[in-house]
Amino acid sequence: MPNENLQTAHIATQSWDQIADLTNETIDQLGQLKHCKNIVVTGSGQGIGFAIALLAAKHGHNVVIADLNEMLAEKAAAFINSIDSPETGKATWVKMDTSKLSDHELAVEKAVQAYGNLDVYLNVAGIDQVELAGNISEEHMDRIWSVNIKGTQFGMQAAHKQFMIQRQNNPSAIYKIINTSSIASLMAFPMLAEYCMTKSAVTSLTKNFALEWATDGITVNEFNPGIVAGPMWNHIASEMAAVTDKDQDTIFNGYVNNIPVGRAQLALDVAQSVLFLISSASDYVTGNSLVTDGGVVLGSKFSHKTNFKNQLGDGHLQSFTEEITVK
Ligand SMILES: NC(=O)c1ccc[n+]([C@@H]2O[C@H](COP(=O)([O-])OP(=O)(O)OC[C@H]3O[C@@H](n4cnc5c(N)ncnc54)[C@H](O)[C@@H]3O)[C@@H](O)[C@H]2O)c1
């Protein structure tokens, strides 16, 4: 017997046939190829930003590689343009400093000039800051705030301005802003206090701008990567090694050993999650934090195992991460 309440719900919302029709459309949206978008990715000369730009291009989107490092930006764009496939989007590049509003305006202009309009603005550029909490200097605070917080806000403002112009001709379009936060906005890390604070600020900006711009047809979301193998963690671990009794590899492996899924995150893992936020499949998602971290924020996997074995009197596992002592 069909459930009467359910039937009523279908009449009030969508029939099965309607949903089936919409499903075909959604498959196209996820498949992307019929919905090519024009995307700016800041900080995409390397690392996570590059992986996002590359994967987006491979899904048919056109990208602007926007980076402070001109050489990396040019190389990244050339790499994408060298992919010999008619299904791959185009790439162009622009040198920009994310801490400057005028540079974000330049990146937007580059997208409009190259591709005709802008659909998605991705704020990925960011820096770390390794310092013991008691030693954080005002100069270092200003530097990381400028890049990670001001950079995110300015990117959103420059994109919003362009989206509002475009909406005059296309009032039903959905435009997207995607920011880069981190698991550092959700938990504390030794020697990364200032970095964690900037990523919490990104989360707050994401929610607040999402609320204000929801009626403008603009979604604002963020993604929160975990421990990604690459240049940023090389730098963090080497800075930590310089002031502790552990070497860089031991420090990085200590963090990786504690990731529940059992391996370090790759830039491509992050990019795959971000593809959903780029796609029209996420049109109804705004103010959201997509945590892509292999379960780091769930807690320590090894500590539970240690307790379990100890209770059974079955020897003990070595502590999941060795104590790090400041020199
Ligand atoms: N690596 C991780 O484990 C991790 C985890 C969580 C969040 N994140 C965040 O992801 C983002 C990218 O990290 P990543 O690991 O790819 O870093 P990365 O250091 O590998 O790459 C950062 C890129 O940003 C560029 N950049 C730096 N300062 C800039 C500026 N002022 N203006 C424009 N471009 C600038 C660099 O030239 C570089 O190409 C950052 O916001 C970072 O905080 C990284």
* Tens-level pLDDT at each residue, the chain (327 residues): 444 444 444 445 666 676 666 666 555 555 444 578 999 999 999 999 999 999 999 999 999 999 999 999 999 999 999 999 999 999 999 999 999 999 999 999 999 999 999 999 999 999 999 999 999 999 999 999 999 999 999 999 999 999 999 999 999 999 999 999 999 999 999 999 999 999 999 999 999 999 999 999 999 999 999 999 999 999 999 999 999 999 999 999 999 999 999 999 999 999 999 999 999 999 999 999 999 999 999 987 654 444 434 444 443 333 444 455 666
Cα 46 to averaged position of ligand 1 atoms, centre (Å)? 8
Of all helices (H) and strands (E), which one includes residue 278? helix 267-278
Supply 114's token pair: 């190259």
Binding-site residues, ligand 1, Cβ < 6 A: 42-43, 45-49, 67-69, 72, 96-99, 124-127, 147, 180, 182, 225, 227-228, 230-233
Helix (H) or strand (E) holding 180: strand 175-180
Nearest CA to ligand 1 atom 7: 182
Q: Which atom of ligand 1 is nearest to the CA of 45?
A: 39
In angstroms, the CA 114 to CA 61 distance is: 13
Cα separation of 297 and 280, whole Å? 28
Residues 154 and 257 in one domain: no
Would 9 be classed as within a structural domain? Answer: no
* Dist. CA 327–CA 323, nearest whole Å: 12
> What is the CATH classification number for the domain harbouring 66?
3.40.50.720
> 152 and 276 share a domain?
yes
Residues 128 and 247 occupy one common structural domain: no
Q: Do 275 and 134 have their domain in common?
A: yes
pTM above 0.85, yes or no: yes
- Asked if the structure places residue 71 within a domain, the reply is yes
Assigned token pair, 134: 């008691």
140 and 284 in a single domain? The answer is yes
**Are 161 and 72 in the same domain?**
yes
The answer to whether residues 82 and 205 belong to one domain is: yes
Shared domain check, 96 and 68: yes
Do the domain assignments include residue 66? yes
36 and 146 belong to one structural domain: yes
Could you tell me if 247 and 164 lie in one domain?
A: no
DSSP 8-class letter at 208: H
Q: Does some domain include residue 139?
A: yes
Whether residue 137 is found in the same domain as residue 216: yes
Locus of tokens 């990925």: 124
Do 222 and 118 belong to one domain?
A: yes
Strand ranges, E, within 13-163:
38-42, 62-67, 91-95, 120-123
Tally the domains of the chain: 2
Q: Is residue 89 part of a domain?
A: yes
Residues annotated catalytic, as ranges: 195, 199
At residue 314, the pLDDT reads 43
- Type of residue found at 232: M
Residue to mutate (ligand 1; options 44, 146, 232; most atoms within 8 A of CB): 232
Q: Is residue 276 domain-resident?
A: yes
Looking at the domain assignment, is residue 13 inside a domain? no
**Alpha carbon nearest to ligand 1 atom 2, residue:** 228
Q: What is the distance, to the nearest Å, from the Cα of residue 302 to the centroid of all Cα atoms in its chain?
A: 27
Q: Is 213 helix (H, G, I), strand (E, B) or coil?
A: helix
Q: Are 311 and 246 in contact (CB under 8 A)?
A: no
Contact predicate 227/264, CB 8 Å: yes
Residue 168 within any structural domain of the chain: yes
For residue 210, give its domain range: 20-228+265-294
